[in-house]
Chains A and B, each alone.
Chain A
Amino acid sequence: MEIRIAGLRKHYASEGRIIKALDDVDLTIPSNQIFTLLGPSGCGKTTLLRSIVGLESPDAGEIRIGDEIVYSSARHISVPTEKRGLGMVFQTYAIWPHMNVYDNVAYPLQNRKVPKEEIRRRVAETLAFVQLEGFENRPATKLSGGQQQRVALARALVAQPRVILFDEPLSNLDAKLREETRKELKTFLYDLQITAVYVTHDRVEALALSDTIAVMRAGRIIEIGSPKKIYFDAESEFVADFIGRANLVKAVVREQLSGTTIVDSAIGRLACRKGNFSPDSHVTLCLRPEFISLTRGDHPGTNVVQGTIASMVFVGDAFEGEIRVGDQHLLARIEPETDLAVGDEVGFQVSPDHCLLVAG
C-alpha cells in the first residue's frame, strides 16, 4: 500500500527554542518495498514514523495510506492509531511481560474479533514463519533479544497489516546477532512483499536492507534513491558523507566531456563521473577509501594521484592508510598483507565512475 505524505510539519518547543522535528515533509513511499528513513540522531525519523502510525499528532499536513486519508490538518481528520490497521516493531520490542508468546502474537487478532479457531491457525502460521514454532507457551520475559525481536515481528505481521513499520529494531542487539537478524529480516520481508517503512541511523543496515532510502536531516528529506544511487551517486555532500566513509576534496569544474566531467582539485586534475555542473562552478569531489588501490612508486596513465603514506593503522581486515597528497590527506584502504610502509611513495589510478561530484 502506497503512503503519501504532504507538507507534514511537527515543531516542538523545548527550553524556549523551537525544534523542527518535521519541517514540511513531502514523501511518497512506494508500495511493497522496503523503504528506509536514514539520518543522524535527532533528525526526525522517529517523529515521522510515529506520525504515520498515529502515535504523534503533527501540526500540519496530510498523510494518506492507500486511498484513505489517515491524517489531514486541513480537513480535521485524525484516524486513531488502533483504526489505522498497521503493524509496528518498536525499538524496545515492547513485548508484554505479563503474557506468553502466544498471547502476545494473538493480541492483534483478538482486537479484530477474529474467531478463536482462526486465531490459533494464524498465530501458528506466523510463528512458523518467524521460526518460533514451539515457543507458544514461553513467558515473554524468558526470551533472548533475537527471539523477542521475532515475537515483535510476528505480532506486527499476524493481522496482515497494510504497512509494517520498524523503528531501529536491531539497535538493541549485539553486533553479531544484529547482522544475522538483519539478513533474516530481509528474507522475511522479501517473501511477504509488503510495504515496510524502516527507520535507522545505521548506514550499513540501510544499504543492506532497503529497496529505497530516504536520507533525512534536521526535519527534512534531502535525498531519495536506491541504495546504489545514494552510495555512488549522491547529490549532496551531506548524503555522500553520511552514507559511507568519504574523502571530500574541494574542486572546480573545468570542462564537460561526453561521458565525464573534468575538474581541477587539490589532488590534481581528474576526470569524474558526469555531473550537471557549469564550468568554473565550485564542487566537492567525493572519493571513497575502498576504491583507492595503492601501488608503489610512479604510476603511468590518466586519472592518477601520487602521494606518500603518512600513517597506517591495522584494523583487522585491512590497514587504514592516510596518504598525503600535497597538503591534502586522503583515507585509503590497504590490503592486510601489503609490503607498503609508512613513508613510501605511492600512487593510485581511479576510475571516473568512482569520482563522485557533489554540489558545494
Chain B
Amino acid sequence: MIQLFNVGKIYNNGVPALHSVSVKIPSGDFVYITGSSGAGKSTLLRLLYCAEKPSRGQILMGGRNTTRLKPRDIAMLRRDIGFVFQDFKLLNNRSVFENVALPLQVQNLPRQEIASRVYQVLQYVGLEYKLRRTPLELSGGEQQRVAVARAMVVNPRLLLADEPTGNLDHDLAVEIMEMFKRINEAGTTVMVATHDQEILQQFPARTLTLHDGNITSDSAPPPEDDNEEEV
C-alpha cells in the first residue's frame, strides 16, 4: 500500500513540479499516471523512489514513512523497487549482461544465481542473444528493453516505469505492456507514467491524470476489473 498525503515538490531552482498530491494505491494495483509534458509525472515517480525528497507532505510505503530515511535505508528500499527510467540510465561501458546483473551484484547474491536470473529475464525481453553488446550498440527500443529487464530482475514488489514505451513501435510497446500485466498478475504493484493514448485504451487500468502538479482526475476503475481494483 502506497499513500501520499498533500505531497508537494519544489525543485531547488524554484520550479514547482507538484502542488498537493494525495492518493492511495493498494498493493497489487496497476496504475497509469498521465498528463501533458511537464505535468509532474516523472517527479511523482522519483519521489516514490526516494530519488527526490518531497518539499512538503508525507509518503507512506507499506506503512513506513519514507520522507526521512537514512542513505542506507534508501538503498534497502530501492532493492524492492524496479525502476524503468525515462532516459534508461544504462552503463554504456558495460555489457547488457552486466547492466542487468548490477542490481543483483549490489545485493551480493552468488554469481551462479545472478547468471541464471539475468539470462532468464533477458530471454523474457528477447535480448538473450545480445547479452555481450554494450547499450550503445543497441537500438533505442532494445535499450529500453534492457532497462525493463534490469527493473524486473530483482522480482520487485513495486515496478515504476517512466514512459517505458516511448521509443518503441506499437508491437514492441504492446509486448512490454503485456509483460507488465503479467508481473502485475504475479502480485507486483505497477505504476506506469505515459501519455500514449493507444496503450491506455488497449490496456485499460486505473488512471491518474496530472495537470500542473495536481491530480485532476482519478479514473473510475475499468468495469471488467471492478472487483480487483476496489480493494
Q: Do A and B come from one complex?
A: no
